[in-house]
Structure 1
């Protein structure tokens, strides 16, 4: 556990990746606060230090969740709803504004590799609409707004771009590379592991990171 980061707020803790991240953050020794709309979606043995019931689009709820925190992990999603949305980007903007007001520096945000495409030189993440399946465009557009909010925040952000997130085992041997999306999948558990590792080091601060695993 980082000496400077002890208290961590997770936004999106009841989604598949959030539920894979929460216990790993607790096991690593962090005091975890979660902001959830429906606490019944949390496992009975979740062991979060604090559960704040509210909505990420309500700035007052975000303020409550970020009281006394040292960092934030943003894993917002829409579950299976692919309709146009601003929830992820508006929620991220609220989190960033409150963090900046309170001097909280570290934020890890998860978006989608569907936003990314490789350019020949130099390699970089840039959203290519032509490569996004039409049904995914509305959600991807909001991920793009979320990404822009992180990149322009001035915070110590880590923008994580996973490929398909699957119900696969925790291996701890996944790959991560700046601006180099590879691989076809990452397990939710390995992705959560990466988020937690980012809390205790600065290797990926201010960077856009592709993470992927190799699973049998």
Structure 2
């Protein structure tokens, strides 16, 4: 397949481009900073474009079979619009060029159900603190993005991972159309699920949780990284 990947220069996006090309797909990696992208691989083309520029998005979407969005921004106090604006431009470009398949990323907290198997402190204090305080602007825009995707009329799938961490290999991860137990998703597993979904239509118009079940980090390490950048 011919895949175009937005957010390709981020940690998840790089995993997606690597796994997709290794699987034999032709990939266009879209980034604002092509000079910072890793050296080329077979079947990989790097294109400079800003997802906030609708005309640029239209240009890079043309000629592809499916779109993968791994757009992401760090927590902060300023309003966030990259998810909703970016997916507005992407879905419009897909309509213009007749591209049907879209796979993108949000967060497991958007299932709006308590974390299965977690204690009271995690469910009532820790997770709400991140959702409503530390990451409020990010999650608010993710919700706007999901509504845009849902209303687009395309064959979309939204993957909702938990706390992201880095590993070198894909594991025997779980996927389900509902919130799964566990606190973490490796970027390798998320990337694998993104590429697999983009190449099929088995979960079209579905929100999927993606959860890593082995080799996960300690919760305190995730909290330090997400809240304090350490």
TM-score by length of 1: 0.87
Structure-2 residue corresponding to 1:177: 176
Q: 1:12–1:117: structure 2 CA closer, same or farther, 3 Å change rule?
A: same
Q: How many residues align?
A: 203
CA displacement 1:113-146 (0-9 Å, x = unmatched): 2322228xxxxxxxx9787140200011111111
Cα offset for 1:79? 3.8
Structure-2 residue corresponding to 1:93: 88
**Does the aligned pair in 1 maintain the 2:67–2:198 contact within 8 Å?**
no
Structure-2 residue corresponding to 1:153: 152
Larger Rg: 2
Structure-2 residue corresponding to 1:135: 134
CA displacement 1:151-178 (0-9 Å, x = unmatched): 1111110011000110124234100000
**Does the aligned pair in 1 maintain the 2:3–2:27 contact within 8 Å?**
yes
CA distance in 1, matches of 2:106, 2:42: 26
Match of 2:45 among 47, 50, 57: 50
Structure-2 residue corresponding to 1:192: 191
CA distance in 2, matches of 1:70, 1:163: 28
Q: 1:47–1:39: structure 2 CA closer, same or farther, 3 Å change rule?
A: farther
CA distance in 2, matches of 1:79, 1:41: 19
CA displacement 1:33-88 (0-9 Å, x = unmatched): 12210012211244453222120010111011112111000110114555311111
**Does the aligned pair in 2 maintain the 1:169–1:187 contact within 8 Å?**
no
CA distance in 2, matches of 1:14, 1:61: 17
CA displacement 1:159-199 (0-9 Å, x = unmatched): 11000110124234100000233321111011101111112
**Does the aligned pair in 2 maintain the 1:23–1:47 contact within 8 Å?**
no
**Does the aligned pair in 2 maintain the 1:161–1:181 contact within 8 Å?**
no
Structure-1 residue corresponding to 2:120: none
**1:75 matched to 2:70:** yes
Query: Secondary structure at 1:145's aligned position in 2?
Result: helix
The answer to which of 100-109 and 198-207 deviates more is: 198-207
Match of 2:3 among 8, 18, 30: 8
Structure-1 residue corresponding to 2:122: none
CA displacement 1:11-32 (0-9 Å, x = unmatched): 0001111011111011111111
**Does the aligned pair in 2 maintain the 1:7–1:30 contact within 8 Å?**
yes
Structure-1 residue corresponding to 2:119: none
CA distance in 2, matches of 1:131, 1:81: 11
Q: 1:79–1:134: structure 2 CA closer, same or farther, 3 Å change rule?
A: closer
Q: 1:111–1:46: structure 2 CA closer, same or farther, 3 Å change rule?
A: farther
**Does the aligned pair in 2 maintain the 1:129–1:137 contact within 8 Å?**
no
Gaps of at least 5 residues in structure 2 are 115-126, 216-230
TM-score by length of 2: 0.82
